Amino acid sequence: MKKSWFEFIKGIIKENPTFVLALGLCPTLAVSVSLANGLGMGIAATFVLISSNIIISVIRKFIPDKIRIPCFIVVIATFVTITEMLMKAYSPVLNRALGIYVPLIVVNCIVLGRAEAFASKNNTLASFLDGLGMGIGFIMALLLISGIREFSGVGKLAGFNVIKGFEPALVMAMPSGALLVIGLLMGFFNVINKNKK
């Protein structure tokens, strides 16, 4: 039970995919302009991460070593396609806002890395918990970055004005603002993890 809990919790702080492992930064930089975009991308990536981890864990013993990466990509691409179709059907506005970054989940380092480093070597429950923990960590990172950028760059939070008369720093709504926010948060997480040792 303790090991299962560790597999879940490690992706949130100790091995946060964005702030500690520095994975998945391309979509993080691009879509973290608003909370809605960050949440949408986080949920999409988490669904793909959990689903592909489970399937890869189930079929891991049947995949020859020489073709394991292409097999992983086929499994991941299947769930990305399902995600994109659902998003187009039920949330076309979000699908347009996220654009090309939804199909690019196929090559997202978080998803492929967890398939190779964890799901291909562990049982289904551990792989599910690993995917869930990493997914929640990614969602939290996207929400934190998106919230800071939306508030400081546009003066809104979740599309609503928060403080009247607040003068936003437009640079925060640009990619350079995302780099600045991510860099500061990475430093913060490194300090937290160093103090825990």
- Check: CB of residue 141 under 8 Å from CB of residue 28: yes
- Check: CB of residue 145 under 8 Å from CB of residue 38: yes
pLDDT in tens, 108-153: 888 888 888 888 898 999 999 999 999 999 999 999 999 998 888 8
Neighbours of 170 (CB within 10 A): 12
% of the chain exceeding 90 in pLDDT: 36
Single-letter code of the amino acid located at 57: S
Per the structure, the complete domain to which residue 80 belongs is given by 2-196
* Residue 23: DSSP 8-state: -
3-state helix, strand, coil in the chain (%, to 5): 75, 0, 20
Per-residue pLDDT averaged across 59-70, rounded? 90
* Distance of alpha carbon 14 from alpha carbon 8, whole angstroms: 11
Give the H or E element holding residue 85.
helix 68-90
pLDDT in tens, 3-34: 777 778 888 878 888 888 888 888 888 888 88
pLDDT value for 52: 95
State how many domains the chain has. 1
